[in-house]
C-alpha cells in the first residue's frame, strides 16, 4: 500500500487559494464543486478505512488456500464457477502460444510511474503481463532508469512506449533515450511502437509531429480506441505511411478474478483516481450514491482516502465484497463508441455487479445486459438502489459481463493482436 505523498496536502492548499481567487473574480470554481461533493460523502466511508485496510492485511498475505482452482467448480457463486470454465479455455488458447517466438520477439515495455500516470502504469503493466503469459520475454523500463542500460541488458526487439513523451513541445524521455535507441539500432533490430491517443488534429501541427516520428524511426502506432473509430480518426496518420493498430483495454484475469467464499457486504467499491477533468462528472453522477451510502473509495486525488494505490490482490478482494462496483467514464467515451475504461473490464472479470454511466461502446463489449447503465444522475442513483435491492438481478448481469469479457476482451487477446500487428510491419533496423 502506498500512502498519498505529502505534496497532495500542498496541492490541496494551492487549490483552495485558487478557489478563493476564482470566487473573487466571479469565475467558475470546479474545485469548490468537488470539495463540496467530497465533504458530503457519507462519514462511514472514511470512518471504516482502517477496518478495511486491517481486513486486507489479515486475509491477503497468503491467498492460496482461498483461491485454489479445484474449489471453483463446486462454488455456489455462479461467477466463481463461470471464471473457472473461462480460465481453462484461456489457458488452452493463450498460455505459451508464442513461446517459439521468444528468441526474436522480446518486449521492453515503458512503465510510467504510478504517481504521475496511474492509468498508464496499469495499462502498460497489464499489457506486459499479457505478452508474458503468451510466452514472450518481457521487461519494463521506468523512465528514471537509463534506457541504454535496459537495451543493452535485455536486448529487446520491440520497444512499446507513449508517443507524446518522445517528441512535441516538451518531450519527457530526453535526448539520452533517443540517442540510446539510435545507437542500439546500429547494432541490432528494434521496432519502436508507440501509443497515440493524444495526437494533435490541426493538420499543420500533426504534420510536424509525424515528421518528428519519422525522424525518430517510429515503426507504427497503436490506439486504445475501437477499430471503426481508429480507421476514421487516424486516417491522416495512415496516409503518411504509419500503420495504426486498435488495441483496446482489456481485463487481466491473472490478477482480476472472483474470490470464493467472501460475502458481498459493502454497498459499493470505487477504486479510481479523480482529477480536474473528472470533478464535474463525478460530482454530478456519484453525489447521491456517495452521500447516502457508506462504501469504499481509494485512489489518487481523493483528499481523505487513506491510500492512493492498492496491490492488485487487495483490489480483487475488495471487489469480491462489493454489492455494486461503481464506474464512471469521461465525456468523449460517452459521445462516441471509442472505448470502455480498464475498470469496466476488470470489474467484469471479477464478477462484480457493475453500475456505470452510458459509454457508447458499452453494449458491444459487455452486452446490453452486462451492467447497469445510466444516462442521467437520477437514473444512476435509481439503478444503484435497484441493484442493492435485487441482488439476483445484479448477479445475472455480472455473469453476462464476465462471459463477454473473458470470451474476447482480455489482455491475452490484446497481446495476441499486438504480435500479429508487429508481424505485418516492415523489417525494422
DSSP 248-282: ---B-TTT----TT----BS-EEE----TTTHHHH
Q: Using alpha carbons only, give the angle 17, 20, 23 rounded to the nearest 5 degrees.
A: 150
Cell of 59: 486475509
Residues 242 and 259 occupy one common structural domain = no
Contact 308, 299 (CB under 8 A): yes
The size of the chain, in residues, is 429
Q: What is the pLDDT along the chain (429 residues), one digit of tens a residue?
A: 444 444 555 556 566 555 555 555 555 677 788 999 999 999 999 999 999 999 999 986 666 667 776 667 778 889 999 999 999 999 999 999 999 999 899 999 999 988 888 888 999 999 999 999 999 999 999 988 899 999 999 999 999 999 888 887 777 888 899 999 999 999 999 999 999 977 778 889 899 999 999 999 999 999 999 999 999 999 999 999 999 999 999 999 999 999 988 999 999 999 999 988 899 999 999 999 999 999 999 999 999 999 999 998 899 999 999 999 999 999 999 999 999 999 999 999 999 999 999 999 999 999 999 999 999 999 999 999 999 999 999 999 999 999 999 999 999 999 999 999 999 987 644
Number of domains the chain is built from: 2
Residues 128 and 220 occupy one common structural domain = yes
Tell me whether residue 3 is exposed, middle or buried, using C-beta atoms within 10 angstroms of its C-beta: 0 to 12, 13 to 18, 19 or more.
exposed
Cα 185 to Cα 156, 179, 181, 241, 357: the distances in Å are: 11, 10, 6, 21, 46
Residues 269 and 398 occupy one common structural domain = yes
CA-CA-CA-CA torsion sign (56, 139, 411, 93): negative
SS3 105: coil
CATH number of residue 362's parent domain? 3.40.50.2000
DSSP 369: T
The residue written with cell numbers 533496423 in the block is 429
Residues 258 and 401 occupy one common structural domain = yes
Spatial CA neighbour of 252 closest among 124, 69, 112: 124
Range of the domain at 59: 11-20+34-65+253-408
Report the chain's terminal Cα–Cα distance, integer Å.
Answer: 42
Residues 110 and 51 occupy one common structural domain = no
Calpha distance 347→340 (Å, rounded): 12
Would 90 be classed as within a structural domain? no
Q: What does the DSSP assignment read for 325-339?
A: EE----HHHHHSS--
Would 387 be classed as within a structural domain? yes
Beta strands 244-246 and 220-223, pairing class? parallel
CATH number of residue 210's parent domain? 3.40.50.2300
Calpha distance 300→24 (Å, rounded): 29
pTM given for the model? 0.91
Residues 171 and 266 occupy one common structural domain = no
Amino acid at each position: 500500500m502506498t500512502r498519498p505523498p505529502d505534496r497532495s496536502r500542498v496541492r490541496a492548499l494551492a487549490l483552495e487559494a485558487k478557489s478563493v481567487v476564482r470566487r473573487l473574480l466571479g469565475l467558475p470554481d470546479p474545485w469548490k464543486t468537488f470539495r463540496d461533493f467530497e465533504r458530503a460523502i457519507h462519514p462511514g466511508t472514511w470512518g471504516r478505512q482502517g477496518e478495511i485496510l486491517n481486513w486486507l492485511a489479515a486475509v491477503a498475505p497468503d491467498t492460496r488456500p482461498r483461491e485454489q482452482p479445484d474449489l471453483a467448480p463446486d462454488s455456489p457463486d455462479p461467477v466463481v464457477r463461470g471464471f473457472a470454465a473461462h480460465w481453462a479455455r484461456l489457458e488452452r488458447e493463450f498460455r505459451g502460444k508464442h513461446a517459439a517466438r521468444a528468441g526474436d520477439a522480446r518486449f521492453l515495455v515503458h512503465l510510467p510511474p504510478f504517481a504521475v500516470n496511474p492509468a498508464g502504469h496499469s495499462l502498460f503493466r497489464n499489457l506486459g503481463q499479457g505478452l508474458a503469459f503468451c510466452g514472450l520475454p518481457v521487461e519494463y523500463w521506468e523512465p528514471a532508469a537509463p534506457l541504454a542500460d535496459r537495451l543493452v541488458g535485455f536486448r529487446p526487439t520491440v520497444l512499446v512506449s507513449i508517443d507524446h513523451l518522445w517528441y512535441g513541445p516538451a518531450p519527457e524521455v530526453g535526448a539520452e533515450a533517443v540517442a540510446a535507441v539510435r545507437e542500439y539500432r546500429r547494432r541490432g533490430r528494434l521496432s519502436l511502437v508507440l501509443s497515440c491517443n493524444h495526437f494533435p488534429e490541426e493538420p499543420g501541427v500533426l504534420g510536424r509531429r509525424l515528421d518528428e516520428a519519422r525522424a525518430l524511426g517510429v515503426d507504427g502506432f497503436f490506439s486504445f480506441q475501437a477499430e471503426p473509430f481508429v480507421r476514421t480518426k487516424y486516417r491522416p496518420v495512415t496516409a503518411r505511411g504509419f500503420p495504426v493498430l486498435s488495441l483496446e483495454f482489456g481485463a487481466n484475469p491473472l490478477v482480476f478474478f472472483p474470490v470464493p467464499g467472501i460475502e458481498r457486504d459493502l454497498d459499493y467499491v470505487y477504486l479510481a483516481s479523480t482529477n480536474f477533468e473528472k470533478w464535474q462528472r463525478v460530482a454530478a453522477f456519484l453525489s447521491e450514491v456517495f452521500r447516502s451510502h457508506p462504501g469504499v473509495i481509494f485512489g489518487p486525488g481523493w483528499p481523505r482516502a487513506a491510500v492512493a494505490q492498492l496491490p492488485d490482490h487487495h483490489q480483487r478482494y475488495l471487489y469480491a465484497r462489493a454489492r455494486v462496483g461503481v464506474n464512471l467514464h469521461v465525456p468523449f467515451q460517452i459521445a462516441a463508441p471509442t472505448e470502455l475504461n480498464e475498470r469496466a473490464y476488470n470489474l467484469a472479470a471479477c464478477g462484480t455487479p457493475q453500475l456505470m454511466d452510458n459509454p457508447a461502446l458499452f453494449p458491444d463489449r459487455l452486452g446490453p445486459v452486462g451492467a447497469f447503465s445510466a444516462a442521467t444522475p437520477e437514473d444512476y442513483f435509481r439503478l444503484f438502489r435497484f441493484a442493492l435491492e435485487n441482488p439476483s438481478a445484479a448477479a445475472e448481469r455480472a455473469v453476462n459481463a464476465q462471459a463477454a469479457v473473458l470470451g474476447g476482451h482480455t489482455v491475452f487477446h490484446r497481446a495476441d493482436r499486438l504480435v500479429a500487428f508487429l508481424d505485418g510491419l516492415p523489417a525494422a533496423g
